[in-house]
Chains A and B, each alone.
Chain A
Amino acid sequence: AQTVTQSQPEMSVQEAETVTLSCTYDTSESDYYLFWYKQPPSRQMILVIRQEAYKQQNATENRFSVNFQKAAKSFSLKISDSQLGDAAMYFCAYIPPGTYKYIFGTGTRLKVLA
């Protein structure tokens, strides 16, 4: 079965520091897509970053970057220079191509300490 595991229910980071959120997944597919979504308190979930499995280069979006290890089926999110506005639930998600079945992890609650 295809699954996504986020082993850290909660993380804390000091403002301006760097934090890494972990995600592992299980699939027999060779081509797929991975995402990190952010859900601030009482606000819409939004896309943070996206990675295609066929691309070896790690995706980056400003202060957000991923460490994609295909063989290890690992997809961690690194947030640099953490800001108070980064406090949110972060969800890792996977989707095989040609389907609508996004598979989400249970989420990691990130607290940013001033």
Chain B
Amino acid sequence: ETGVTQTPRHLVMGMTNKKSLKCEQHLGHNAMYWYKQSAKKPLELMFVYNFKEQTENNSVPSRFSPECPNSSHLFLHLHTLQPEDSALYLCASSRVAGGNTGELFFGEGSRLTVL
């Protein structure tokens, strides 16, 4: 298996539920990202991990909690979400060499619906 894999592809949850999104990359990259994609809005960077260390938290509400146990895996833990959090959540990875100037490799995304 190659590339960036995200599970689940679709998730419906109530506002009181706790769920997690998972991302796995098989490209040997060192940086991993979570983006939020909403209709008619630019992709919003949420979190960046470089060599398992969080290097970016773009003022994301605490109801979103990332976890990066190693360079190949990235999780996004969700709890007490709001309906406006419904969106497509994209995971991406990239190779890092002295600052990031390279291509992002994306997963297919997890479509989240909060009821």
Contact = CB atoms under 8 A, between A and B. Distances in A.
Interface of A: 4, 9, 33, 35, 37, 42-47, 50, 52, 91, 95, 97-107
A103 B42 CA distance: 8
Contact of A106 (B4, B31, B41, B99): B41
Query: What 4 A-B pairs are tightest by C-beta distance, nearest first?
Result: A98-B99, A104-B43, A45-B106, A100-B48
Interface of B: 3-4, 31, 33, 40-43, 45, 48, 50, 55-56, 90, 98-101, 103-104, 106-109
Contacts of B108: 42-44
Contacts of A50: 103
Contacts of B103: 35, 47, 50
Given A95-B101, A98-B99, A45 B40 contact: no
Contacts of A105: 42
Contacts, number: 55
Given A44-B107, A46-B106, A104 B42 contact: yes
Interface of B is mostly: loop
Contact of B101 (A4, A97, A104, A106): A97
Nearest to A39: B106
Contacts of A104: 42-43
A105 B103 CA distance: 16
Q: Among the interface residues A35, A42, A44, A95, which one has the most CB atoms of the partner chain B within 10 A?
A: A44
A95 B41 CA distance: 18
A45 B50 contact: no
A107 B100 CA distance: 22
10 contacts: A44-B106, A44-B108, A44-B109, A52-B101, A98-B101, A100-B31, A100-B48, A100-B56, A106-B40, A106-B41
A22 to B, nearest CB: 15
Contacts of B107: 44
A104 B38 CA distance: 12
Contacts of B43: 91, 102, 104
